Structure 1
Amino acid sequence: MQVSLLYGRSGITVPLPRDADVTLIAKPEMPRQGDPIAAVHQALNCPVGSSGAAGLREIAEGAGSACIAICDITRPVPNHLFLRPMIETLVSAGVPLNQVTVLVATGLHRPNLGDELAELIGDPWVLQHVNVVNHDALCDQDHIDLGQTPTRQTPVKIDRRFVQADLRIATGLVEPHFMAGYSGGRKVIAPGLAHADTIRTFHNHRFMSDAAATNCNLHRNPLHEEQLEIVKMIGGAYALNTVIDDQRNLSLVNFGEITASHQDAVAFIGQYCRVSVPRRYPTVITSAAGYPLDKTYYQTVKGMVGAIDILQPGGHLIIVSECSEGLGSEEYAAAQATLTRLGSDGFLQSIRHQPFAEIDAWQTQMQTKATERGTVHLYSSLSPSLQTLTGVSIVDDLEATLQACIDASACKSVAVIPEGPYVIPFVQNEVA
Structure 2
Amino acid sequence: MTMDTIALSYGHGHLDITLPPGARPTVIRKQQLPKLADSKAAIIEALHNPVASKPLADLAKNRESACILICDITRPVPNGLFLRPMIETMISSGIPQEKISVLVATGLHRPNLGDELVELVGDPWVLANVHVENHYARDEAAHVDFGFTETRHTPVKLDRLFAEADLRIATGLVEPHFMAGWSGGRKVIAPGVAHHETIRTFHSARFMEDPLAVQCNLIGNPLHEEQLEIVRMLGEVYALNTVLDEDRDLVCVTFGEIIASHQAAVDFVSAATQIPLSRKFSTVITSSAGYPLDKTYYQTIKGMVTPLDILKPGGTLIIASECSEGFGSPEFREAQARLVELGPERFLATLTAKSLAEIDEWQTEMQLKPMRLGSVELYTTGLAGEDRRLTGVGMIDNLQNAIARSITASGDPDVAVIPEGPYVVPRYAA
Structures share fold, TM-score greater than 0.5: yes
Counterpart residue number, 1:323: 323
Write the distance in 2 (CA, Å) between the matches of 1:407 and 1:100: 60
CA contact (8 A) 2:20 2:401 kept: no
The C-alpha deviation readout for 1:146-195, integer Å capped at 9, x for no partner, is 00001000000000110100000000000000000000000000000000
Q: Distance in 2 between matches of 1:113 and 1:71?
A: 13
Pairwise mapping of residues 279-318 of structure 1 onto structure 2 (< 5 A)? 279-318=279-318
Residue 338 of structure 1: aligned partner: 338
Partners of 1:306 and 1:233 lie apart in 2 by 31
CA–CA distance in structure 1, aligned partners of residues 307 and 235 of structure 2:
37
- The secondary structure found in structure 1 opposite 2:170 is strand
Name the counterpart of 1:3. Answer: 6
Match in the other structure for 1:193:
193
Partner of 2:404: 403
- Is the aligned partner of 1:101 residue 2:104? no
Counterpart of 1:412 in structure 2 is 413
Q: 1:236 & 1:198 partners in 2: Cα distance?
A: 20
- List gaps (5 residues or longer) in structure 1: none
Q: Does the residue aligned with 1:6 lie in a helix, a strand or coil? A: strand
C-alpha separation between the residues in 1 aligned to 2:346 and 2:392? 13
- Partners of 1:249 and 1:135 lie apart in 2 by 27
Q: Deviations over 1:113-159 (max 9, x none)?
A: 00000000000000000000000000000000100001000000000
Match of 2:31 in 1: 28
1:384 shift after superposition: 2.0
Match of 2:269 in 1: 269
Equivalent-residue separation in structure 2 for 1:72 and 1:110 (angstroms): 9
1:262-301, CA deviations, whole angstroms, 9 ceiling, x for partnerless residues?
A: 0000001102110001100000000000000000000000
**How far 1:327 moved relative to its partner?**
1.1
Please state whether the residue corresponding to 2:316 is helix, strand or coil: strand
Helix, strand or coil: the match of 2:325? coil
1:18 corresponds to: 21
Deviation at 1:412?
0.2
What is the correspondence of 1:22-421 to structure 2 with a 5 Å cutoff? Answer: 22-50=25-53, 54-381=54-381, 382-421=383-422
Which letter maps to 1:402? I
Distance, in Å, in 1 between the alignment partners of 2:174 and 2:73 is 15
Deviations 1:210-238 (A, max 9, x none): 00000000000000000000001111300
Alignment root-mean-square deviation, CA: 0.6
Shift of residue 49 of structure 1?
2.9
CA distance in 2, matches of 1:371, 1:291: 25
Task: Calculate the TM-score normalised by the size of structure 2.
Answer: 0.98
Contact 2:64–2:96 under 8 Å retained in 1: yes
Q: Distance in 2 between matches of 1:221 and 1:106?
A: 22
Task: Give how far 1:315 is off.
Answer: 0.2
What is the CA–CA distance in structure 2 between the aligned matches of 1:245 and 1:63, rounded to whole Å? 35
Q: Which runs of no fewer than 5 residues in structure 2 stay unpaired?
A: none
Structure 2 residue 423 is the aligned partner of structure 1 residue 422: yes
Amino acid at match of 2:129: H
Cα offset, 1:428, TM superposition: 1.1
What code does the residue aligned with 1:392 have? V
Q: Which amino acid aligns with 1:425?
A: P
For each residue in 1:40-82, what CA deviation from the matched residue of structure 2 results, as whole angstroms up to 9, or x when unmatched?
00000000135xxx31000110001000000000000000000
1:364 partner amino acid: T
2:404 is aligned with what amino acid? Q
CA contact (8 A) 2:182 2:217 kept: yes
Measured in 2, the distance between the counterparts of 1:211 and 1:379 equals 29
Q: Which runs of 4+ in 1 moved over 2 A?
A: none
DSSP 3-state at the match of 1:348: helix
Q: CA deviation at 1:11?
A: 1.3
